[in-house]
Amino acid sequence: MPVVSTPVSLRHAEGPMDNAEVERIRNDFPILHQEVNGHPLVYLDSGATSQNPLSVIEAEQEFYEQRNSAVHRGAHTLAVAATDVYEDARQTVAGFINARPDEIVWTSNATEALNLLTYAFSNASLGRGGAAARRFALGPGDEIVVTEMEHHANLIPWQELAFRTGAALRYIPVDDTGALLLEEAENIIGPRTAILAFSHASNVLGTINPVQTLVKMAHGHGALVVLDACQSVPHLPVDVKALDVDFAAFSGHKMLGPTGIGVLYGKADLLNAMPTFLTGGSMITTVTMDKAEYLPAPQRFEAGTQRISQAMALAAAVNYLQETGMERIHAWETELGRRLVSGLEQIEGIRVLGPKAGVERIGLAAFDVEGVHSHDVGQFLDDQGIAVRVGHHCAQPLHRRLGLVSTTRASTYLYNTTDDVDAFLAAVAGVRPFFGVK
Ligand SMILES: Cc1ncc(COP(=O)(O)O)c(C=O)c1O
């Protein structure tokens, strides 16, 4: 049931995106029309969290004004209306990544989705889930493989799983440009590999990893593949069936949606064989004082009262992205990314992480300003209304590998113009002179 109409600005979008279209898109994002420290806001922190179009904001409001009720339980009309939008949203998000609705589990964010997996695998290692779940069980002699570029959300849960089960954690290293060393991956991924977990696109380097190559290596040894799709699903077309990953995780708030909702995708047969993580109401068929039987996926992983307005608003976000076109968004952000990187490379004293200009990347760039701490860079830019991210971006091991403690990151989205990038580059050019660094 479509709840929020398509924004006027997006109808009939065709051909490549340009600044004129982006200006129209910006009209749908109220937050972008403000001044910060006396300057028009230039928002370049969508890699951390994206902004929301009116259709998303209105979807959440509409839910509370018209349909607020708990799903799946009530016999009354409001409960049915809430259940309808909740399950419609699942269908919308499933379609967006070419999955089936029963392969979409709602979580609170990608971090929770990844933790859900690791706790379900722990439970399998304890014998929960019976024979069907044995394929998820880990123990000494098994290996979990990640990469050196992972966000902490796709590293620490695996460290903890290794600790709980006695499995070993290994990682695929990166070269000096941050690219994965695929020859090393060939040696690391082997018969002991039980799980390969890696990010589709790096939140620091912008690198887009060769998913299909890695999936082939892992599946060749019977390992499960978990994709951290936090920085890919919002920015480029992602087809989980074509990629053949077993699981994928992403967050609503990075793709124009609200906070408080994320997605775990899993192949249906795997989700149905996996032990549960959180338990309680809404995920059972029968309960006695001794034990419980669980519903099929996805409900078996959705214990307790769920994030219903957020699901509805996330569907509105997906509609917005689809109306604009993911190929078009990716092409526009690639252009912005190229402009960012080649502009930064021309400024003295700047070291840009990740692939050089011209190599495919998502539309973000993290960089070091020689002689100036990233927090000072961030403050200097904020004084000019430019919002960027500073610090280690939840990727301390990667920064350590590249000989850095922290960097500054500018990340774009469909509502950024080339003027935003140019304003940012002009401001960055002023950083070292301002701080008196020669
Ligand atoms: C690559 C990557 N993975 C995981 C996450 C975690 O996302 P969340 O904090 O929404 O769970 C992020 C967020 O920055 C990310 O960029």
Does residue 119 sit within a domain? Answer: yes
The per-residue pLDDT for range 246-265, each reduced to its tens digit, is: 999 999 999 999 999 999 99
Does residue 2 sit within a domain? Answer: no
H/E element, 263: strand 262-266
The per-residue pLDDT for range 415-429, each reduced to its tens digit, is: 999 999 999 999 999
Distance 284 CA to ligand 1 centre (A): 30
Q: Which of 296, 322, 348 is the last residue of a domain?
A: 322
307 and 368 assigned to the same domain: no
List the residue whose alpha carbon is closest to atom 14 of ligand 1. 48
Which of 230, 263, 364 has most ligand 1 atoms within 8 Å of CB, for mutation?
230
Q: How far is CA 435 from CA 50, 323, 438, in A?
A: 30, 45, 9
315 and 406 assigned to the same domain: no
Helix (H, G, I), strand (E, B) or coil at 262: strand
- In this prediction, residue 72 carries a pLDDT of 85
The per-residue pLDDT for range 118-168, each reduced to its tens digit, is: 999 999 999 999 999 999 999 999 999 999 999 999 999 999 999 999 999
d(CA 89, CA 83): 10
Which ranges constitute the DSSP H helices of 68-109?
77-96
315 and 329 assigned to the same domain: no
- In this prediction, residue 141 carries a pLDDT of 98
Residues 52/277, Cβ–Cβ less than 8 Å: no
279 and 408 assigned to the same domain: no
The number of angstroms, rounded, from the C-alpha of 295 to the middle of its chain's C-alpha atoms is 27
Q: How far is CA 371 from CA 40, 98, 388, in A?
A: 28, 47, 19
List the residue whose alpha carbon is closest to atom 16 of ligand 1. 203
185 and 173 assigned to the same domain: yes
What ligand 1 atom has the least distance to the C-alpha of 251? 10
226 and 203 assigned to the same domain: yes
300 and 332 assigned to the same domain: no
Does residue 40 sit within a domain? Answer: yes
The per-residue pLDDT for range 86-109, each reduced to its tens digit, is: 999 999 999 999 999 999 999 999
Q: What is the mean pLDDT of residues 235-244?
A: 98
- Burial class of 99 by CB neighbour count within 10 A (0 to 12, 13 to 18, 19+): buried
309 and 427 assigned to the same domain: no
Distance 250 CA to ligand 1 centre (A): 7
Query: Looking at the predicted structure, is the pLDDT value of residue 370 above 60?
Result: yes
114 and 192 assigned to the same domain: yes
The per-residue pLDDT for range 170-192, each reduced to its tens digit, is: 999 999 988 999 999 999 999 99
Angle among Cα 53, 58, 63 to the nearest 5 degrees reads 140
307 and 220 assigned to the same domain: yes
Q: Which of 322, 353, 380 is the last residue of a domain?
A: 322
Q: How confident is the model at residue 360 (pLDDT cuts 50, 70, 90)?
A: confident
Q: Find the residues whose C-beta lies inside 6 A of ligand 1.
A: 48, 109-111, 151, 153-154, 199, 203, 228, 230-231, 251, 394
d(CA 434, CA 424): 15
Distance 298 CA to ligand 1 centre (A): 22
Does residue 375 sit within a domain? Answer: yes
Does residue 56 sit within a domain? Answer: no
The per-residue pLDDT for range 215-226, each reduced to its tens digit, is: 999 999 999 999
Does residue 3 sit within a domain? Answer: no
Show which residues are catalytic: 394
Picking from 38, 193, 146, 163, the residue whose alpha carbon sits closest to that of residue 397 is 146
Q: How far is CA 298 from CA 95, 257, 273, 284, in A?
A: 16, 21, 11, 11
167 and 239 assigned to the same domain: yes
Q: Which of 293, 322, 351 is the last residue of a domain?
A: 322
- In this prediction, residue 54 carries a pLDDT of 98
More confident call, 193 vs 12: 193
List the residue whose alpha carbon is closest to atom 15 of ligand 1. 230
Name the residue range of residue 299's domain: 61-322
As for how many domains the chain has, the answer is 2
State the CATH number of the domain containing residue 315: 3.40.640.10
The per-residue pLDDT for range 18-52, each reduced to its tens digit, is: 999 999 999 999 999 999 999 999 999 999 999 99
171 and 276 assigned to the same domain: yes
Residue 391: left (phi > 0), alpha (psi -120 to 50), or beta? left
Does residue 1 sit within a domain? Answer: no
Distance 127 CA to ligand 1 centre (A): 30
Q: How confident is the model at residue 408 (pLDDT cuts 50, 70, 90)?
A: very high
Which of 50, 111, 112 has most ligand 1 atoms within 8 Å of CB, for mutation?
111
Distance 330 CA to ligand 1 centre (A): 19
Does residue 228 sit within a domain? Answer: yes
- In this prediction, residue 430 carries a pLDDT of 97
d(CA 83, CA 371): 55
The per-residue pLDDT for range 72-84, each reduced to its tens digit, is: 877 899 999 999 9
List the residue whose alpha carbon is closest to atom 13 of ligand 1. 48
State the CATH number of the domain containing residue 411: 3.90.1150.10
DSSP string, 379-412: HHHHTTTEE-EEE-TT-HHHHHHTT-S-EEEEE-
Q: What is the mean pLDDT of residues 359-364?
A: 91
Mean pLDDT estimate for the chain: 95
Q: What is the mean pLDDT of residues 304-310?
A: 96
Q: Rg of the chain's alpha carbons, rounded to an integer? A: 22
Q: How confident is the model at residue 3 (pLDDT cuts 50, 70, 90)?
A: very low
